[in-house]
């Protein structure tokens, strides 16, 4: 009898250990594009690596402390939004009028709750504005002045226009507009003018997924264009049944393909794993349509996928089982 | 030999007949809600029936003449947008500030091309503005002043504010706001304050699908709220591989469920037919989440689905094989 009891105790302990062994962690991106070793000085590589690592640390800290996946998403994106090297918030590119218009969204896998803002111009952290829409409004999506006003009323930090507009973004806009006027095309000199986004997929100790995305959109976009980043199902999606996804790239294609949601549908209905589903959408569906970009995705077991069909993608991950890396070029793992 | 030749001729004729026997037609909705025989006078029933029939005729005429599915969608929606009895364009409900903000989108099944506008305030036909975004801009989605300006530059008809704001919509807004202030709830007196949309799914002689949706949103919505109607994959979706879908109802749920796109995914990846996929999404997924509404959907063979979990839904269809009906209550076919 004693023997049976100790066997039972051991079995129970094993079960508890398994229950506690939920892998947690996050994967993030800082945009896909023409990111190559030849085109990026060591110094610039270091700058990007430092930014990605800082965001990774902030997100992982939240998860390691037992925080929710969505709070890890917010913590990591806040860092990237403050970093002028990435196309979101402070580092946003400019629209055709020379103004900043920022998009962001967030989604929780546990209850499919979601929030998004499009075309905000004053919020320091658009990802927080999206979160406020999710938690403190009856709506999922708000835009422009209404979203800015709501964010302000919710007590979020508001910044003057000068905070978001840099000499660099103004020079890029002028360059793109001049080339378009002179040559009708800008791809050779500004290959990444349509790109740039930051995003995170996170898995917490409770086994819940969340995803978020934030962007300044594409350089020279028309006034009040909305890209895929604030569209639930296009640029951002999270569902505990499948995965959390954040996309980056030429947003119009991601909207038409419902790309983030389609990754989830392939897992849910076709039984694909996250790698197969995400790779199929980027390397087959997106590529076949002529679109460029990439995504980061994570499933509930902590499997990560980071496909892109551009020369490179800023990306990083850290998991509780020891996996961690900061990457930007192709053929890195 | 002669006999063989005539057999061949007959076979070829049969093949041509089969090739020409593509069913075509359209299904449309004018919103779901508390639409019951007891609550609607015969006179009001006639008003709605007349409006739906007129839109149906306009859309069917385009298809019958050999026009494209998207042109049939536009033709039918234009009629409903001009009809102040339906919540879109002229009949739009008012937001919390007493203003009209209209959303619309359109999608083609043949190439997944799509266009959408959110929060436009001056365009007589928001569905045409969405089409212009699809055809004449590099973008898929535009919002607010930028979308209004673009529509004007594209030569679309612009109307003064007074055209869109009716005494009826002002009275409803006041009623809803008063009840919310006094009772915190308005459902008993204004059960449909969150509803109202118009939308079409069409199939043309070439076998191509298209879908479109147009709405004034929900009464008392916050300034610059975006619902599901202009979100590709939420309120509108079309894919020749599966179906064309237009949704109506409490939009926030449709966004979180990616409802229109999920109907397509269930068909594509699980082998559901359009009726099973659409019914599952409305009666299971939407209902389980606590959301209300409905949709109209059509597949490439002309099968129609029109599920809703509200007491009624304004809906109508006409197909080249003779099927046709104008309906509004439950348990009608």
pLDDT tens digits for A255-267? 999 999 999 999 9
The answer to whether the Cβ–Cβ distance between B149 and A223 falls below 8 Å is: yes
The token duo for B311 is: 């007491």
The token duo for B240 is: 């020749």
Is residue B328, in this structure, part of any structural domain at all?
no
Find residues 253-282 of chain B whose CB sits inside 8 Å of chain A.
255-258, 261-262, 265-266, 268-270
**pLDDT attached to residue A16:** 53
Enumerate the residues of chain A whose CB falls inside 8 A of the CB of residue B245: none
Of B222, B277, B210, the residue nearest B252 (C-alpha):
B222
Asked if A140 is an interface residue toward chain B (Cβ–Cβ < 8 A), one would say yes
Is residue A5, in this structure, part of any structural domain at all?
no
A193 pLDDT more than 70: no
Enumerate the residues of chain B whose CB falls inside 8 A of the CB of residue A112: 256-257, 289
The model's pTM: 0.92
Is residue B202, in this structure, part of any structural domain at all?
yes
Distance from CA of A78 to the nearest CA of B (A): 24
The token duo for A41 is: 């000085």
Per-residue pLDDT band at A13 (split at 50, 70, 90): low
pLDDT (tens place) for every residue of chain B, 333 residues total: 555 656 666 666 555 554 558 999 999 999 998 888 988 899 999 999 999 999 999 999 999 999 999 999 999 999 999 999 999 999 898 888 999 999 999 999 999 999 999 999 999 999 999 999 999 999 999 999 999 999 999 999 999 999 999 888 888 889 888 888 888 877 777 777 667 899 999 999 999 999 999 999 888 888 999 999 999 999 999 999 999 999 999 999 999 999 999 999 999 999 999 999 999 999 999 999 999 999 999 999 999 999 999 999 999 999 999 999 999 999 776
CATH of the domain at B225: 3.60.20.30
Is residue B236, in this structure, part of any structural domain at all?
yes
Q: What angle do CA A287, A289, A294 make, to 5 degrees?
A: 40
Task: Return the residue of B nearest to A141 by Cα.
Answer: B226
A85 pLDDT more than 80: yes
The answer to whether the Cβ–Cβ distance between B231 and A141 falls below 8 Å is: yes
Which of B107, B114, B137 has the CB atom closest to A222's CB atom? B137
Q: Is A266 left (phi over 0), alpha (psi -120 to 50) or beta?
A: alpha
The token duo for A210 is: 């969340």
Enumerate the residues of chain B whose CB falls inside 8 A of the CB of residue A231: 141, 231-233
Asked if A289 is an interface residue toward chain B (Cβ–Cβ < 8 A), one would say yes
Residues making up chain A, counted from first to last: 333
Is residue A13, in this structure, part of any structural domain at all?
no
Residue A195 · residue A183 · CB < 8 Å: no
pLDDT tens digits for A150-178? 999 999 999 999 999 988 888 888 988 88
Asked if B232 is an interface residue toward chain A (Cβ–Cβ < 8 A), one would say yes
Active-site residue identified among A197, A219, A248, A310:
A197
The answer to whether the Cβ–Cβ distance between B141 and A226 falls below 8 Å is: yes
Is residue A333, in this structure, part of any structural domain at all?
no
Per-residue pLDDT band at A325 (split at 50, 70, 90): very high
State the angle between helix axes of B69-82 and B42-64 in degrees (0 to 180), rounded to the nearest 10: 150
Query: What is the DSSP track for B108-142?
Result: ETTT--EEEEEEESSBS-HHHHHHHHHHHSS-SEE
The answer to whether the Cβ–Cβ distance between B261 and A257 falls below 8 Å is: no
Is residue B128, in this structure, part of any structural domain at all?
yes
Instruction: Sheet with A141-143: list strands edge to edge.
Output: A324-329, A312-319, A25-33, A198-203, A209-215, A102-108, A114-120, A141-143, B225-226
> How many domains does the structure of chain A reveal?
1
Find residues 57-116 of chain B whose CB sits inside 8 Å of chain A.
107, 112-114, 116
Residues A116-136 have a mean pLDDT of 98
Asked if A139 is an interface residue toward chain B (Cβ–Cβ < 8 A), one would say yes
Host H or E run for residue B238? strand B236-238
A14 pLDDT more than 80: no
Task: Return the residue of B nearest to A107 by Cα.
Answer: B256
**pLDDT attached to residue A263:** 98
pLDDT tens digits for A253-312? 999 999 999 999 999 999 999 999 999 999 999 999 999 999 999 999 999 999 999 999
Q: Which residue has the higher pLDDT, A263 or A17?
A: A263
**pLDDT attached to residue A195:** 73
Note whether ipTM > 0.90 here.
yes
Of A93, A99, A153, A103, the residue nearest A125 (C-alpha):
A103
**pLDDT attached to residue A136:** 97
Q: Which residues is B103 bridged to in the sheet?
A: B215
What rounded mean pLDDT belongs to chain A? 92
Say which residue the tokens 């479109």 belong to: B212
Range A125-146 burial, b when 16+ CB lie within 10 A, else e: bbbbbbbbbbeebebbbbbbbb
Distance from CA of B331 to the nearest CA of A (A): 31
**pLDDT attached to residue A172:** 87
Q: Which domain holds residue A305?
A: 24-32+41-323
Of A323, A326, A331, A271, the residue nearest A307 (C-alpha):
A331
Distance from CA of A6 to the nearest CA of B (A): 44
Mutate to test the interface with A, among B118, B141, B194, B257 (most CBs of A within 10 A): B141
Is residue A138, in this structure, part of any structural domain at all?
yes
Percent of chain A with pLDDT over 70: 93
Enumerate the residues of chain B whose CB falls inside 8 A of the CB of residue A265: 261-262, 265, 268-269
Residues A61-69 have a mean pLDDT of 98
A108 pLDDT more than 90: yes
């Amino acid at each position: 009898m004693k023997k049976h009891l100790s066997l039972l105790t051991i079995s129970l302990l094993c079960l508890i250990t398994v229950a506690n062994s939920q892998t947690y962690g996050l994967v993030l991106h800082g945009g896909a594009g023409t990111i190559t070793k030849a085109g990026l000085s060591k110094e610039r590589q270091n700058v990007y690596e430092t930014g990605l690592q800082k965001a990774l640390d902030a997100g992982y800290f939240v998860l390691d402390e037992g925080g929710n996946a969505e709070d890890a998403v917010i913590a990591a994106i806040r860092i990237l939004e403050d970093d002028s090297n990435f196309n979101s918030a402070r580092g946003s590119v400019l629209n055709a009028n020379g103004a900043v218009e920022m998009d962001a969204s967030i989604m929780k896998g546990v209850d499919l709750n979601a929030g998004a803002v499009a075309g905000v111009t004053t919020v320091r952290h658009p990802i927080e504005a999206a979160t406020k829409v999710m938690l403190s409004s009856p709506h999922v999506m708000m835009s422009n002045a209404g979203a800015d006003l709501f964010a302000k009323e919710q007590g979020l930090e508001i910044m003057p226009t000068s905070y978001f507009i840099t000499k660099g973004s103004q020079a890029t806009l002028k360059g793109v507009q001049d080339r378009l006027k002179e040559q009708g095309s800008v791809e050779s000199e500004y290959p990444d003018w349509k790109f740039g986004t930051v995003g995170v997929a996170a898995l917490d100790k409770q086994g819940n997924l969340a995803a978020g995305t934030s962007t300044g959109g594409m350089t020279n976009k028309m006034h009040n264009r909305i890209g895929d980043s604030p569209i639930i199902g296009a640029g951002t999606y999270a569902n505990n049944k499948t995965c959390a996804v954040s996309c980056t790239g030429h947003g119009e294609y991601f909207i038409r393909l419902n790309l983030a949601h389609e990754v989830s549908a392939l897992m849910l209905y076709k039984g694909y794993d996250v790698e197969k589903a995400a790779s199929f959408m980027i390397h087959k569906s997106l590529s076949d349509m002529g679109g460029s970009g990439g995504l980061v995705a994570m499933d509930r077991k902590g499997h990560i996928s980071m496909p892109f069909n551009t020369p490179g993608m800023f990306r990083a991950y850290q998991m509780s089982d020891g996996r961690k890396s900061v990457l930007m070029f192709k053929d890195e793992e």
